[in-house]
Amino acid sequence: MDKLKQYWVAEELERALGDPENPDSQMSFKKVIEIDESEEFPHEEIAWLYNWKLQHYYVPVNCGGEFTSFEEFVAFVRVLCRRDQTIGIAFTTMFWSFITWMAGTEEQKQKLAAYIKDEHGTMCLGYSEKEHGADLVGGDLTATKVPGGYLLNGEKWPINRATISGVSYILAKTDKDGGARSLSLFMVEKSRLDSANYYNLPKILTHGIRASDMSGIGFKDCFVPEDMLIKGEGAGLEVALKGFQITRTLCAAFSHGAADTALRTTLKFAINRVIYNKTVFDIPQPRKILLDGFLDLLICDCETIGAARGFHVIPEQFSVWAAVVKYFVTVQLETMINNISSVLGSRFYMREEHDFGMFQKVLRDNSIISVFDGSTTVNLHALMLQFRQLTKHRSRRNSAKMEKIKSRLEIIYSLEKQLPTFTPEKLEISGRGADDTLQGLEIALEQLKGLKNANIEPLVLEQITTLTECILEEVNAHDQQIANSAFEFGHDQSPELFEITKKYCALHAATACVQMWIYNRELLGEFFASGEWLVLSLNRLLQPFGHSQKVDQSYQEKVIQEMLKLYNENKAFSIVPFQLAKTQKQENITNATTSELQHA
C-alpha cells in the first residue's frame, strides 16, 4: 500500500471525516439519516468538503487543479459514498466539468477552474426532457441564433442540482431539421443570465437520495452569449456521448461506496446477533451470502480500477469499456446489496433498529445509480451496436498488434505503474472494434503458463488457467454467434441480444480479474497473491455459462477470514484495502498507548 500513492487522498479524507459510526463525526451515519429524513439539501456538509479543498481534485493539473488520475478519483468518491450517496453524488456533479476539460476553449477552462476552486461552484447536466427521456435528439429545447449569442427556450428535467448550481450544461437544438448534428451544447453560467428569462422547476420527491436537489430548469427567450457555446454548433451530441463515457464509468464509485457500507453494517449485525445459540455469521447460509457479497466487491474492483486506469492509456476504447462498467458494476452491486439484506431478516425493513437505519438508506439510495447517465438498457444497447466491429477486430489480430496490446495491458493493470496524463480529446464515439481487455486473453493464458514455477499452489494455478481457457472459449463462441447473426443497427434489438450483451459484460469482468491478478501478485499482499479468491470469483461469473471448478472448503474459509480481517482492521473491502477512519475503539487504544509512552 505504501507504493500506491494514488490512494493517499482517500485515506486522508477518511481521517478528516472520522468514524461514521461515531454520531459526532463529520457525515456520521446518524447525521446523514437526519438529513435524509429532513429532505433538506446538505449545505453544511458540502461546505465542509469545499473547505477541505476536495474540489481541487476535480480540476486537472494543467488547469490549475490537483486531479492526476481516475484511480485516485474513484477511491475518494468511494470514501464519500460509504457515508452518504446523497452528499457524494451532490458534490460529484462537479465531474460534469470534464465536458469543458474535454471540449472547451482555454478561456472556458480557466474560468471554470477558478469558479470551482475559488468560488466553491458546481455544475449540473441538462440533457433529458420530461417528454423525451433518453431520446436526446428528440428534445424540444431550442437555441435560436441572434446577434452575439442565442435565445434558449424550453425545459430540461430531471436534473440533479439544477437549482443549487451556478453552471448548467444545456443541450439545445440549433437545427430544426433534426439529426445527429442538430444539437449544440452550452455551458450556461446563471450569474450572467437575466433572472426574468429562466426559472427553476420544483423539487422532485424521490424514493432515495431524498435530500438531493432533484429538479429542473426552464428558459423563456433567455439570451446566452456566444462564448457559452461548447466546441461549436452541431457538436452537442458528440460531446455529450463522449462525456457519458467518463461519467458512466465513474458512477461505479458511487456503487462501491454504498456496497462497502451495506456489507460492513450487515457483517456487524451477523457477528453480534445470536440466534439458535450461535451467531448469525456462524449459520452456513448467511455466511455464504456475505462471502458472495465480498466476492462481488472484489470482482467489481478489478473491473472499476482497471477502467479508471484504462482511461489514461486507451481512452479511444471507452465507448466499449464505459458501457460495460456502467452496466455490470452498478447492477452487480445493486443485486449484491439486495441479496445481503436477507441476512438482516426483518431488520432490513426497519429504519431505526440497526446503525440508525443506514442499511435501509443505502438500499434506497443505491437503486438509482444503475439508471444515472443512461439506464442498463441504454448502456447494453450502446455496447451491442459495436459487436460487429469487435468481432471483426479480434479476427484480424496479428503478432504486432498483440505486442502493442500486451504493452498497454501492463500499464493498465500494474497498479504500481505510472499512468500517462489523461487526454480527453482522444475519446471516440466508437472504439472501432478495439477492446484490449478481452483481446488480450491469449496473452493472459501465456502468462499463466509461465507461472508454473512461481510460488503458487499448483492446483490453484491450474484452476485459474482452466477457468481462463473457459473465458476464451465463451468469447470465441460469442464472436461466432455475432458473425452468424442477422444483426441490424437501430433501437429494435431482440431481448435475446440483450442477454448476449449481459454475458459479454460478465466475460469482460472475469478477464479483468485475471489481468489484475497476473500483474499485481507481488504487490497486493498474500491473500491477493494466493489466488483462491480469484478461483471463487471466476466460478461465480462463469457458472451461468456452465463452467466451474470444484473447490475445497478451505478456499471459501480463506476468503471469509480476509473479509473478517478487513472488517476488524477497518480497511476497505477491496483488492486495495486502504485504511479507513479509526473507530472509537481504535482511537481509545491509540490514546491509551500514547498515554503509556508519555508516562514511561
Instruction: Dump pLDDT digits (tens) for 18-36.
Output: 999 999 999 999 999 999 9
The share of the chain scoring above pLDDT 70, in percent, equals: 97
Predicted confidence band of residue 588 (pLDDT cuts 50, 70, 90): low
* Chain segment 137-181, per-residue pLDDT in tens: 999 999 999 999 999 999 999 999 999 999 999 999 999 888 889
Residue with cell 426552464: 218
* Chain segment 207-260, per-residue pLDDT in tens: 999 999 999 999 999 999 999 999 999 999 999 999 999 999 999 999 999 999
Predicted confidence band of residue 493 (pLDDT cuts 50, 70, 90): confident
Q: Does the pLDDT value for residue 296 go beyond 90?
A: yes
Cα–Cα distance measured from residue 234 to residue 204, given in angstroms and rounded to the nearest whole number? 31
Strand partners, 224: 150
Cα–Cα distance measured from residue 425 to residue 404, given in angstroms and rounded to the nearest whole number? 21
Phi-psi region of 552 (alpha: psi -120 to 50; beta: other; left: phi over 0): beta
Report the pLDDT value the prediction gives residue 177, as an integer from 0 to 100.
84
Report the pLDDT value the prediction gives residue 347, as an integer from 0 to 100.
84
Say what the pTM is. 0.95
Angle of helix 70-83 versus helix 284-313 axis, rounded to 10:
140
The domain limits of the chain are 5-122, 124-230, 244-568
CB-side neighbour CA atoms (13 Å) of 170: 34
* Chain segment 437-492, per-residue pLDDT in tens: 999 999 999 999 999 878 899 999 999 999 999 999 999 999 999 988 876 777 77
Predicted confidence band of residue 373 (pLDDT cuts 50, 70, 90): confident
The helix (H) or strand (E) run that includes residue 169 is strand 167-173
Cα–Cα distance measured from residue 217 to residue 141, given in angstroms and rounded to the nearest whole number? 11
Q: Which residues contact 599 (CB under 8 A, 6 or more apart)?
A: none
CATH, domain range 244-568 = 1.20.140.10
What top-level class would CATH report for the domain 124-230?
A: mainly beta
Residue with cell 430540461: 156
Architecture of 5-122 per CATH?
Answer: Orthogonal Bundle (1.10)
Q: Which residues contact 419 (CB under 8 A, 6 or more apart)?
A: 69, 71, 309, 312, 313, 411
Report the pLDDT value the prediction gives residue 491, as an integer from 0 to 100.
74
Catalogue the long-range contacts made by 117-120 (C-beta closer than 8 Å, 24 or more residues apart): 117/53, 117/55, 117/56, 117/59, 117/64, 117/65, 119/166, 120/47, 120/50, 120/55
Cα–Cα distance measured from residue 61 to residue 46, given in angstroms and rounded to the nearest whole number? 23
* Chain segment 323-372, per-residue pLDDT in tens: 999 999 999 999 999 999 999 998 888 888 788 999 999 999 999 999 99
